Amino acid sequence: MDQQPNTSLPHGLPPLRLVNPRTQEHVSACPFCGGDQRSDRFHVWMEPGHERYWCRGCDAKGPLKKLLGEEIRPSVIVSHRPKPGPQARAAAPENQDHYRLIYATIALWAHALMVDEANPEPLAYINQRGISDTTVRRHVLGVTLRDPQAIPDLLRRECPELLPFAEEAGVLTRDYDGALRGHPNLCGALIFPYIANGEIVDLRARSYPGKGYRSLPGGYSERGAIFPFGWDDLDSAETIILTEGEFKALAVTQAYENTRLSIPALAHPGLSYIREEWAAELRARGVRTVILAYDSGPRPIKDGVLQLSPEETWSIRHGLRLAAAGLTVRVLRLPLAPGQQKADLDAFLLEHSATRLQHLIDTAPTLRDFHRALPRNLLTAAKLPLAQVYPTRRARPQRIEGEPIPAEAAQKATISLDDARAEIASRVQDHAQAGEGFLVLAHPPGVGKGHNTIIGLNEYQASSQGDPGKIAWTALRKEQIHDQDGLKITPLHGRNPSNCHKYGEAQILSAKGYSVRDTLCQRRCPFVDRCIYLQQFKQDANFFAPMPLLQATGWWEEAGVLVLDEFDPARLTRIVHLTSADLAAMGRADTSPHAHAILRWLSITLAGTSDRHISGDMLIAELDTAARNEGLSLDTTLNAACASLPPEELQQMLPGFPQGASISEYEALPPNYLAILLQRLAHERRIHLSGTPFTSRIEINGGRLILFLRIDHMIAQLANPEQPKVVLDATVSDDLLRAIFPDTPIQIERPNIAGGAQVSQIITRDWAKSTLRGDRRERWYDEVEAQIRPDRQTLVVCTLECESGLRQTLANRGHTQVEVAHYGALRGSNAYKGYDVILAQVYHPNMEAIIREGRALFADDGTPLDEEIITTSRVLHDAAGTRWAVQVPTFADPRLTALLESRREAEMVQCAMRGRPLDHPEAQITLLFGLPLPGLTPTHIREGHTSPESNSGRQDAARTRIIEAAQRLLAEGKRWFDIGELAEAANLSEASVRKYWEYVATKLHLRHGHQVRDDVFPPGGQQRSYRRKTLVRRGRAVPPRPEPRIVEDQAQPQNVKPLLLARNKLYVTRLTYRFPLCYRSPYMYKRRSHPSTTDPPD
């Protein structure tokens, strides 16, 4: 009897089942993500000295000792099983053609058994699963016999010349007597051939009857099984479903072939198995969108804590991998009925219909929405990354080699400053007289847009023969009225305690969404007839008002010309936040039971979103689930709630509310958003049912319900082409204006004016606020200080969070002529004329705020917003034509990109131009980041100093240490070395050495080589080869000339003769030693060593 080492199973693990005696592999339920007694997701290998574990559900893995916290002691047990026979050879890629012929032979034989009328049970079982006979024949489905000798006999009969390759192919194995038999995975099972490019590249089996898929042994790559199931059924589809399990893919593809579904499906063998190259191969076939559709089921509970299901976990893992390769990824989750434990694609098609599944396909959320809808604590527990809002890692700017672009090609034709100013006045006059829509003056700050616009308006009013109408002028701040010299203008003021007797009540009503004029002024204010605030609008004069007053369109809708000094799209939107208390107050104020039900379902959904986001189709689906849990219909309830809403005029009247109510009674009023909320939900529900993608105006996030609204009456009046409008904005976004006002004429003037300041851009670092920690902040202070010119007034601009610290540091270092301000506080300011300007760090606005503003502006567009954040490469060049490639984070959607640039690039350009360099050419602008700014071409670009603590400094130090270590090894006489030896000599990790391996070879003029080591494993004598990279000194290895030996005469025994031991004969020659020649091709240079040999001689 043979004794085999085994490992006693520790008590910290669930009950394990032995599935492979040779490798001591056990399976069980996972202690991390759960499972029942039949589960096999958790694998434990108990080989002595190599104990380890891995879960294919949650991807938990590591040494078993680390999991248990105890030593694993092997024990010896007596095995009564006979010693196994010789092990099969591993599959070899060069034999893949033979393997595929074997697979085809078995598949055709199994298919004949499947359609044999004498064996109807397997076909009936497949038909019961919803697979038709046509699909069975099209996909060559089959069934095998339980006899272990059936497949060996088949191969001996049909293709005896392929029998030597059958074990490598995984279809045959040997029993303990050494006789060939069919592999157990193929005996008595349903057979699913994997067909790709017209060949059967793999076989996969399924237990029949019973459950459980089986794969052939051996590596997929070595056997050539490198395609998913259904590869030849894609046709030219641009969107596909990717699922796990052949039955599911067959059911979907069958419905696709019968034109009941719009897309086919692929299946991969096992939930966790997706090959890296599949994404690129799918893109090469024209696939653009992949919908991940795995089984749905309740989330498991472990130790009383809820966890993500394996299907959710792998949807995120596979989705991120596919998205990184350039595919659009969406995630389909099948709905679960109350009490249902599992839902999969083939069963769903049988129980419901292809129409229902097609609707789920059409409304499947994007990977980003699905990722954000998962609770963050569950993502962390599953070791998954959180949904990233902003790309935190980008490549550093890279210089573009080649000829620099000529200076004349880098700049457009220019005009003089005087000509540009004169042209502004004439353009404004012509537009005011006969123009339509918008005239945008996008001249740089300091040109005099405001002053020359006033000249043009005065000439327009003086030359007009009829009534020219009044001038309405708006700006970001009311203090900007002092910049409008030369135009007789009357300022307007917003509500304040000095002009409104009911100011407190008006503020409360406005915040709750009520119309102040309709609810308070006209019905409940006794001072309305002598209200100072309302009386100012009745004056017959030209008006100036801060931009918030644009919402009251009555004072400017009849004006002859409207001037917008700066354009802020945020003024066109309104973002409303509602809590569960607000929803409760809205419910108490309404008498409709249907509205109460909708608010109750929203509150239930709200309670489960403390750390996740849901909107759009996912929100509608959750409301639908909440309604079905109560036995109600969401559509019926929502329509009845909308029908019960009172007229809008009655809503503003607040019937029953006292005339002389106190402030506390006003504060107790519910928010006036019930009608908007219900009507918007009903609208989005109709779009959801149609299967059309849309952008939602409703989001539930962090326990709050958010409404993204836009001020439609204001946008409609601005879009009126009959009223001329002049926009004064140096950094206005053409694309953004045209996206908001698609049907309004827009004329943009953006001349390139000669002159200006010297612009220096230092591109090594961006100094983003999130990175300024510890010593890095001090280095930032030093970098800013180094750019300050002596005896020059300087404006330093940074983010609000860093402003006070930078100001204090520069003051402590004696810079008394330096002013520090933050982004967002300098637009329209003329207080820094002639100053040098230093933009001390890049400005990154809140991306979530950009997305919300974009939803408010563009939710009703025909094309939904693509909210994915990407990085794109832009070219930064200076006046000399030197070019750099810079990675810039932006949005995939051009509307969101335009909105982002109006916040980011536009803000930085506005701050950079505060020194008015056109009038003060001695001023200098310094940019301490690599982001290209439109309209601000650098005079020269340079790289900043690299500190040893920075990433670049550490990389340079690592390269230097590796080169020095390699030189020491060569100086010691080493002719070759591998990665491990060089890492040990440099005292660095092998990963670092591997990263700079090519750099070392180029720097030291070494050649690439390989060392091959063959190991023989005792069980069966299986051989495994290991290949290691080496670097080899160039030239031939010439051994030193040996010194002549002096052999002393010694008496030798007469009965001893030199023998050639191999043949027991006398030898008359000596052994010849050969040194390897190192001048051959690097791919021909191989050294073979064995565990018993030493390293090759130097």
Domain with CATH 3.40.1360.10 in the chain: 231-387
| DSSP symbols for 525-579 | -TTGGG-HHHHGGG-SS-EEEEGGGGGSGGGTTT-SEEEEES--GGGGEEEEEE-
Q: How confident is the model at residue 136 (pLDDT cuts 50, 70, 90)?
A: very high
Domain with CATH 3.40.50.300 in the chain: 417-485+498-573+714-749
Domain with CATH 3.90.980.10 in the chain: 86-227
Average pLDDT of span 594-600: 96
Q: How confident is the model at residue 302 (pLDDT cuts 50, 70, 90)?
A: confident
Q: Give the least confident one: 38-42, 224-228, 1089-1093.
A: 1089-1093
Q: How confident is the model at residue 1010 (pLDDT cuts 50, 70, 90)?
A: confident
What is 417-485+498-573+714-749's CATH topology? Rossmann fold (3.40.50)
- Note the pLDDT of residue 403: 65
657 pLDDT exceeds 90?
no
Task: Say how many CA atoms lie within 13 Å of 603 toward its Cβ.
Answer: 14
Q: How confident is the model at residue 1026 (pLDDT cuts 50, 70, 90)?
A: low
Q: How confident is the model at residue 394 (pLDDT cuts 50, 70, 90)?
A: confident
809 pLDDT exceeds 50?
yes
Look at residues 969, 968, 967 and name the one whose alpha carbon lies nearest to residue 1005.
Answer: 967
How far apart are alpha carbons 1000 and 969 in whole angstroms?
A: 13
Q: How confident is the model at residue 636 (pLDDT cuts 50, 70, 90)?
A: very high
- Note the pLDDT of residue 1088: 37
For the chain, the first-to-last Cα distance in angstroms comes to: 48
Average pLDDT of span 181-209: 92
- Note the pLDDT of residue 1018: 53
How far apart are alpha carbons 344 and 460 in whole angstroms?
A: 72
37 pLDDT exceeds 90?
no
pLDDT tens, residue by residue, 355-374:
999 999 999 999 999 999 99
- Note the pLDDT of residue 929: 92
Look at residues 579, 680, 675, 672 and name the one whose alpha carbon lies nearest to residue 623.
Answer: 680
- Note the pLDDT of residue 1036: 61
Joined together, the tokens standing for residue 725 give 């409008």
Q: Give the least confident one: 67-81, 832-846, 1055-1069.
A: 1055-1069
Average pLDDT, the chain: 85
Average pLDDT of span 470-483: 85
pTM for the whole thing? 0.78
- Note the pLDDT of residue 404: 64
- As assigned by CATH, the class of the 231-387 domain is alpha beta
pLDDT tens, residue by residue, 40-67:
778 888 887 778 888 877 777 888 877 7
Average pLDDT of span 693-708: 94
Q: How confident is the model at residue 1024 (pLDDT cuts 50, 70, 90)?
A: low
Q: How confident is the model at residue 1041 (pLDDT cuts 50, 70, 90)?
A: low
| DSSP symbols for 50-69 | --EEEETTT--EEEHHHHHT
Q: Give the least confident one: 277-291, 336-350, 395-409, 595-609.
A: 395-409
How far apart are alpha carbons 194 and 267 in whole angstroms?
A: 10
Average pLDDT of span 812-820: 94
pLDDT tens, residue by residue, 330-358:
999 999 888 888 999 999 999 999 999 99
pLDDT tens, residue by residue, 894-916:
999 999 999 999 999 999 999 99
Q: Give the least confident one: 347-361, 364-378, 735-749, 867-881.
A: 867-881
Joined together, the tokens standing for residue 719 give 């879009």
pLDDT tens, residue by residue, 488-508:
889 999 999 999 999 999 999
Cβ atoms within 10 Å of 893's Cβ, excluding its own: 22
Q: How confident is the model at residue 654 (pLDDT cuts 50, 70, 90)?
A: confident
1092 pLDDT exceeds 50?
no
- Note the pLDDT of residue 1017: 52
Which CATH superfamily is 86-227 part of?
DNA primase, catalytic core, N-terminal domain (3.90.980.10)
945 pLDDT exceeds 90?
no
CA distances from 994 to 800, 971, 1088 (A): 42, 21, 22
CA distances from 471 to 432, 558, 565 (A): 10, 10, 13
Average pLDDT of span 85-106: 84
- Note the pLDDT of residue 306: 92
Q: What architecture is domain 758-942?
A: 3-Layer(aba) Sandwich (3.40)
Q: How confident is the model at residue 1015 (pLDDT cuts 50, 70, 90)?
A: low
Q: How confident is the model at residue 427 (pLDDT cuts 50, 70, 90)?
A: very high
Judge whether 231 and 196 are in contact, CB under 8 Å. Answer: yes
